Structure 1
Amino acid sequence: MKLKPIKTEQDYQQALERLEKIFDTKPGSKEGDELEILGILIEKYENEYFPIDLPDPIEAIKFRMEQLDYSQNDLADVIGLKSRASEILNRKRKLSLDMIRKLNEKLHIPSEVLIQAY
């Protein structure tokens, strides 16, 4: 396949088909290089035409708590008081800058997710 920018839906579909055909090629080979470049082009097109919004901050906290098997008490240990953790999870209290920092540091939730309005 001749590599070129992906500008249309048809270009995108052709690129996906080619990617599927050469997916298991060896890195460093001619097709491996094509695979790498094709992946970059597809990613650029998808980011432009199929953007994914950041998750809701509270849902992100709940999801991360579930991943870590954290309880509300565990969250309270991270951000302060148990009542504060409850208020956050029930959307009755906004996250403070200090809480955002702690959640980012200890739960590894990206700060750009946590600073959004909810």
Structure 2
Amino acid sequence: MEIRPIVTDEDHAAALREIDRLWGVEPGTPGGDRFDVLVTLVQAYEERRWPMPKLDPVEHIIGHMDLTGRTQADLAKLLGSRSRASEVLNRKRALTVEMIHKLQSEWGIPAELLIRPYKLDAA
């Protein structure tokens, strides 16, 4: 397969087949370089073709909790109280710098995903 821009779904499918064929090849070899270039092209195509919606900070927290099996009770322990966790998840209370720091340092949620402005619901 010749490496070229991915512009169609057929190009995408061919690139995925080639990536599958190259899976596990030694990095730094011609095959490893080819693999890296194809992965980069596929990622760029997929971001253009199927863009991910931008999530607000609360959606990131909820998604992280779902992926890691954490509960609202776990968030309450992290933030200091059940009511605070409930208010954050229900968009009644904005995240503070301290909360963002805890979510980043203890749960590993990147701070840049949490510092964006988002709409709070009226109390």
User: Normalization by structure 2: what TM-score?
Assistant: 0.69
State the alpha-carbon separation in 1 of the partners of residues 94 and 71 from structure 2.
Answer: 20
Q: Which residue of 2 aligns with 1:2?
A: 2
C-alpha RMSD of the superposition: 2.7
Structure 2: unaligned runs, 5 residues or longer = none
State the alpha-carbon separation in 2 of the partners of residues 70 and 9 from structure 1.
Answer: 39
State the alpha-carbon separation in 2 of the partners of residues 105 and 45 from structure 1.
Answer: 33
Tell me the percent identity.
38
Tell me if 1:41 matches 2:41: yes
Alignment-mate amino acid for residue 10 of structure 2: Q
Q: Which residue of 2 aligns with 1:58?
A: 58
**Distance apart, 1:68 and its partner CA:** 5.6
> Would you say how many aligned residue pairs link Structure 1 and Structure 2?
117
Task: Answer yes or no: is the 8 Å Cα contact 1:54–1:113 preserved in 2.
Answer: no
Residues 47 and 92 of structure 1: CA distance in aligned 2, closer, same or farther (over 3 Å): same
Cα deviations by residue, 1:91-111 (Å, 9 ceiling, x for unpaired): 322222322222122211122
Q: Which moved more, 1:6-15 or 1:42-51?
A: 6-15
Q: Which residue of 2 aligns with 1:23?
A: 23
Cα deviations by residue, 1:64-115 (Å, 9 ceiling, x for unpaired): 445264552x423322333212211233222223222221222111223223
State the alpha-carbon separation in 2 of the partners of residues 112 and 3 from structure 1.
Answer: 34
Q: Which residue of 1 aligns with 2:88?
A: 88
Task: Answer yes or no: is the 8 Å Cα contact 1:104–1:110 preserved in 2.
Answer: yes
State the alpha-carbon separation in 2 of the partners of residues 47 and 5 from structure 1.
Answer: 14
Q: Which residue of 2 aligns with 1:76?
A: 76
Alignment-mate amino acid for residue 45 of structure 1: Y
Residues 10 and 69 of structure 1: CA distance in aligned 2, closer, same or farther (over 3 Å): closer
Give the match's secondary structure for 1:45: helix
Alignment-mate amino acid for residue 30 of structure 1: P
Q: Which residue of 2 aligns with 1:109?
A: 109
